[in-house]
Amino acid sequence: MAELRRSLGVGRGTAMMLNIVLGAGLLTLPGLAHQAVGGAALVVWLACALAAAPLLLVFAILGRRHADAGGLATIMGRAFGAAGRVPATFLFLGAVSVGLPAIALTGGHYAAAALGGVPHLYAAGLIVAALAVNLLAAELAARVNAAVASLVVLVILAVAVLGWVAVSPDLGAVAVAATDWPGLPVFGLTFMMVFFAFTGWEVSANLGEEFRDPGRDLPLAMAASFAIAVALYLALAVVVAGSGKTGADPAPFARIFGAAFGPAGANAVSAVAVLLIFANLSAAIWAVSRMVYATAREGLLPPVLARVDRGVPLAAVALTVGVLLAVVAMAGRGLFDLGLLLAAAGQNFLLLYGAAAAALFRLGDRAWHPWLGGLGLAIVVALLIGRGGEGSLYPAVLILAGLGLAAVRARRRKPA
């Protein structure tokens, strides 16, 4: 069977992870957080970065030692057998099946706001455009994604710099406002919302098999992408805080740029959002299709999905895109709304973070690894408690289905 090509180093790996992690929420969440807690939003962003760092370290440790296209599902299999691998596979595929269409729909709404038309058609167009990149040979696709990531980072830097010029934030006043605490319940809810900007690195675990030297390059790429993302998040949060607006404003940069540069400024921000989402979808489809490929290689999906051509699992890419387009079509018929899709994906990703932390207890080989796993697990449990039982049915069904399939496969393999 043909294998995936090792086309990623530190630079391209960092670019791919940034494409997966950075999305349109980068231009939306700063406004929503500032609306909820005012100047204390800066503290929320810092707290989320501190909470996410141990979880990313868990992924870096596990990913460098268990580099495989199956990502976290493979890691869970090595830690807990089929009872860990199959439910993790279901949780991951269940998360991206609703999360990526939600991202595409967000881009569709940005495009419709600037150009008019039907958001769901724009969303489908973004998915098809991302498909085109993923049909390229693996080496060329990696170069395209790296180029797009570089452009994305430069564009976001431009948004931050121009926003800073337009707002001219008083850093002293911003620092004073950050001490104005809104109360623990409100702070906790805002923390939960902002924390989703720090998800995405669990998807990056599926890239491990394509790093030339995963033991060295994967953790370096993860650390570099995390540092760049946090710097961008904080810069944009300061710009929003400096604007002094606390009303309902899910698109603060459109307002800021519209006020400073006119309608052209607002349209430019919409174009940036569409570019972010295209980059996000392109890299995410790459990572998810590798998960589908690895799942087929393990026998959980039809073997045709494990075929590789020019380093690309074409059938796995086609299935991934087909599912995303189907969910967008169903959303267009009113069966799903954007909030429901995002909530379902977020709940699954939180559970996967906890699964990775639990796996470190079994797979870690350093004295401090169980302590890191315990810290990561405690963070995830606290976040889930803060979220409450809302949205738990979807992941519960996926976990039970995964456990059921694992049990059936175990019985079939058991000698009579």
Identify the bridge partners of residue 312 per DSSP, sorted by sequence position. Answer: 309
The pLDDT of residue 329 is 94
Mean pLDDT computed over 295-316: 86
Q: With 90 as the cut, is the pLDDT of residue 356 above it?
A: no
Asked if the structure places residue 88 within a domain, the reply is: yes
Asked if the structure places residue 4 within a domain, the reply is: no
- Domain range for 105 is 10-405
Asked if the structure places residue 413 within a domain, the reply is: no
Asked if the structure places residue 414 within a domain, the reply is: no
Asked if the structure places residue 400 within a domain, the reply is: yes
Mean pLDDT computed over 5-28: 74
List, in order, residues 6 or more apart from 62 with CB less than 8 Å away: 72, 75, 205, 356, 359, 360, 363
Q: What is the pLDDT confidence band of residue 249, given thresholds at 50, 70 and 90? A: low
Give the CATH number for residue 314: 1.20.1740.10
Contact 88, 355 (CB under 8 A): yes
Number of domains, the chain: 1
List, in order, residues 6 or more apart from 192 with CB less than 8 Å away: 383, 386, 387
**DSSP letter string, 352-391:** HHHHHHHHHHHH--STTHHHHHHHHHHHHHHHHHHHTTTT
Q: Poorest-confidence range of 119-123, 146-150, 382-386? A: 146-150
Q: How many CA atoms lie within 13 A of 410 on its CB side?
A: 12
Model pLDDT for residues 60-95, shown as the tens digit of each residue: 888 777 766 667 778 888 889 888 889 988 988 898
Asked if the structure places residue 2 within a domain, the reply is: no
The pLDDT of residue 25 is 64
pTM of the model: 0.76
